């Protein structure tokens, strides 16, 4: 069972519970998100597998919960290794924001901690994703206009909050 720290709107820890309980009750907890951008300025996005909540949609390549007692950087490194196979990489913090949605009976009240990773490595995907694609910023913007359902709601949120502002 995975435990997460419950935080307030200012990212102060106010409790601890299981991830399942946090989602059941809609308790605010930390999640790391990372956008991988190569030296050409292209964005790596992964298409979610059928058993995932955003099945068939492109999402940020790294996204996962920060376990209770884990630092944000530890979570970033763990999730990046698990989801795209990158072990050694440069990163910087892009920002933080609260993202709240209900999906598949879960109340995801996430305190997003968004990073950018610089890498030209070929990703190695786990079973959460079926494929990856490198997108230019122009392709992402055009797809948002022509086919917004190509991307998950969470990616829409991150893009609009941190890259269009």
How many domains does the structure of the chain reveal? 1
Segment 105-109 mean pLDDT? 85
Tokens matching residue 84: 């795209």
Segment 134-162 mean pLDDT? 96
Q: What is the dihedral of CA 126, 129, 84, 62, to 10 degrees?
A: -120
- Kindly tell me if the per-residue pLDDT of 106 is higher than 90: no
What sign for the dihedral angle of Cα 42, 138, 31, 124? Answer: negative
* Measured distance CA(5)–CA(12) in Å, rounded: 9
Q: Which residues of 71-83 are buried (b: 16+ CB within 10 A; e: fewer)?
A: ebeebbbbbbbeb
Are 22 and 4 a contacting pair, CB within 8 Å? Answer: yes
* Measured distance CA(67)–CA(74) in Å, rounded: 9
Segment 87-99 mean pLDDT? 96
Segment 56-81 mean pLDDT? 97
Segment 23-45 mean pLDDT? 97
* Measured distance CA(137)–CA(7) in Å, rounded: 33
The whole-number pLDDT of residue 14 equals 98
- Kindly tell me if the per-residue pLDDT of 8 is higher than 80: yes
- Kindly tell me if the per-residue pLDDT of 165 is higher than 90: no
Q: How confident is the model at residue 53 (pLDDT cuts 50, 70, 90)?
A: confident
Closest CA to 121 of 111, 132, 129: 132
Output the domain CATH number for residue 153. Answer: 3.90.79.10
Q: Which domain range does residue 92 map to?
A: 3-163
User: Rounded to the nearest 5 degrees, what angle is found at the Cα of 58, between the Cα atoms of 53 and 59?
Assistant: 70
- Kindly tell me if the per-residue pLDDT of 71 is higher than 70: yes
**Which SS3 state, helix, strand or coil, does residue 48 take?**
strand
Tokens matching residue 61: 């390549």
Q: What value does the mean pLDDT of the chain take?
A: 95
* Measured distance CA(27)–CA(23) in Å, rounded: 7
| % of the chain exceeding 90 in pLDDT | 92
* Measured distance CA(137)–CA(119) in Å, rounded: 16
């Amino acid at each position: 069972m995975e435990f997460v720290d419950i935080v307030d709107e200012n990212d102060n820890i106010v409790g601890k519970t299981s991830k399942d309980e946090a989602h059941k009750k809609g308790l605010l907890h930390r999640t790391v998100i990372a956008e991988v951008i190569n030296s050409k300025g292209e964005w790596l996005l992964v298409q979610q597998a059928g058993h995932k909540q955003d099945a068939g949609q492109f999402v940020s390549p790294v996204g996962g919960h920060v376990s209770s007692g884990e630092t944000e950087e530890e979570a970033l490194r763990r999730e990046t290794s698990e989801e795209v196979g990158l072990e050694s990489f440069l990163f910087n913090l892009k920002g933080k924001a609260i993202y709240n949605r209900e999906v598949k009976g879960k109340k995801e009240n996430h305190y997003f901690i968004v990073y950018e990773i610089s890498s030209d490595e070929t990703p190695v995907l786990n079973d959460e994703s079926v494929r990856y694609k490198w997108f230019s910023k122009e392709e992402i913007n055009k797809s948002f206009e022509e086919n917004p359902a190509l991307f998950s709601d969470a990616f829409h949120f991150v893009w609009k909050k941190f890259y269009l502002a």
